[in-house]
Amino acid sequence: MNGFLRITGAASLSPRHNSACRHDIRILSGIRPDTIVSTGSNSTDMADLAHINGNFIPLESAVVSVNDRGYTFADGIYEVIATRNGQPFLLPEHFRRLERSAEGIGLRLPANYADWPKIIAGGIERAGFAETMVYIQLTRGVMPRRHVAIEDLEPQLVITFRPRPTFTAAQLAAGQRVITVEEIRWRRCWIKSTALLPNVMMKQEAARAGCDEAIFVDRDGEVHEGTSSNIFFAAGGTLVTPPLGDYLLPGISRRFILDRAAATGLPVDVRRCNRDELLAADEVFLSSTTMDAMPVVEIDRHRVGDGKPGPLTRRVRELFPE
């Protein structure tokens, strides 16, 4: 335990602080006590990496307290950022959304917030992947389980670094199959909260149906978004996507597509749309940081267009830099 305390820089905390108090997180979060980590050279080369409470450690060794409100209440927010050519893509946009999410749940950003771009750059370099998926999670903090949070609770930051997933040409040519599901989420879907139970449940329902994604549709048939993606369709050469609102995460990829498509002369229409239009569309695709623009070839067992990824989807995919 002593070595562990040294590693986390928490040597000033005496073992008697090991009772259920807030200091526990400094001890319990960050690293398993049995893990020896060099904080110097790039000892974590090509392994998934975590930055937790100021330390870079192998992801498999990272631990958080069971008293973390992210664990007990899903009281936290997150961001997912991909690198392109080794650089975080659209980082300011992701930070802006993170700030809105923090404000949305009344979470004060930590004092070191301005350092995060540096931490992220350091993590990307240390991890050493060709391209990296950066995951930021910020929870309200650690305290004994009670709904009302302590006023000055210190938010807990975890940033992880993993290889960015890639899709093969065959996967892109095959496209994805989706189901539509009832909108059962809360009215603040614009907050990128770690409270994702409805999303998880519906994505699992899609998987059980042999599909890749579930699209939330409300009782009036209005289409919102996927469990982890936004949705677009093409009708008569125009790209259509639902507007921002209570039931939509303002996707960074969605915004990028809208901006770039308009700039390249591709007609776009941001408007409310319903399930029937989706089924009748020439093309449908999903957008997200993980997938860019992913063709959808089947919705609720109905074939989309001719059942193959279409030219507009391809054009949109090409808007993204390599």
- Any idea which residues carry the catalytic annotation? 192
CB of 124 to ligand PDD, least distance (A): 17
Show the binding pattern over residues 47-86: x = contacts ligand PDD (CB under 6 A), - = does not.
---------------------------------x------
Q: Using the rule CB under 6 A, is 101 a contact of ligand PDD? A: no
Cα 51 from Cα 64, distance rounded (Å): 12
Q: Using the rule CB under 6 A, is 290 a contact of ligand PDD? A: yes
Q: Using the rule CB under 6 A, is 132 a contact of ligand PDD? A: no
Cα 90 from Cα 73, distance rounded (Å): 30
Show the binding pattern over residues 171-200: x = contacts ligand PDD (CB under 6 A), - = does not.
----------------------------x-
CB of 228 to ligand PDD, least distance (A): 4
CB of 270 to ligand PDD, least distance (A): 15
Region of 44-52, 105-113, 136-144, 228-236 interacting with ligand PDD (CB under 6 A): 228-236
Out of 53, 101, 132, 253, point to the residue binding ligand PDD (CB under 6 A).
253
Contacts of 244 (CB under 8 A, 6+ apart): 190, 250
Out of 252, 261, 281, 293, point to the residue binding ligand PDD (CB under 6 A).
252
Q: What angle do CA 296, 272, 233 make, to 5 degrees?
A: 20
If one counts every other C-beta atom within 10 angstroms of the C-beta of residue 117, the result is 13
Out of 228, 296, 309, 313, point to the residue binding ligand PDD (CB under 6 A).
228
Cα 106 from Cα 49, distance rounded (Å): 29
- 162-189 in b/e form (b: 16+ CB < 10 A) is bebeeeeeeebeebbbbbbbebebeeeb
Q: Is the dihedral of CA 158, 159, 161, 167 positive or negative?
A: positive
Cα 297 from Cα 174, distance rounded (Å): 8
Q: Using the rule CB under 6 A, is 230 a contact of ligand PDD? A: yes
Tokens of 214: 């579930």
CB of 291 to ligand PDD, least distance (A): 8
| Contact footprint for ligand PDD (CB under 6 A) | 80, 199, 225, 228-230, 249, 251-254, 287-290
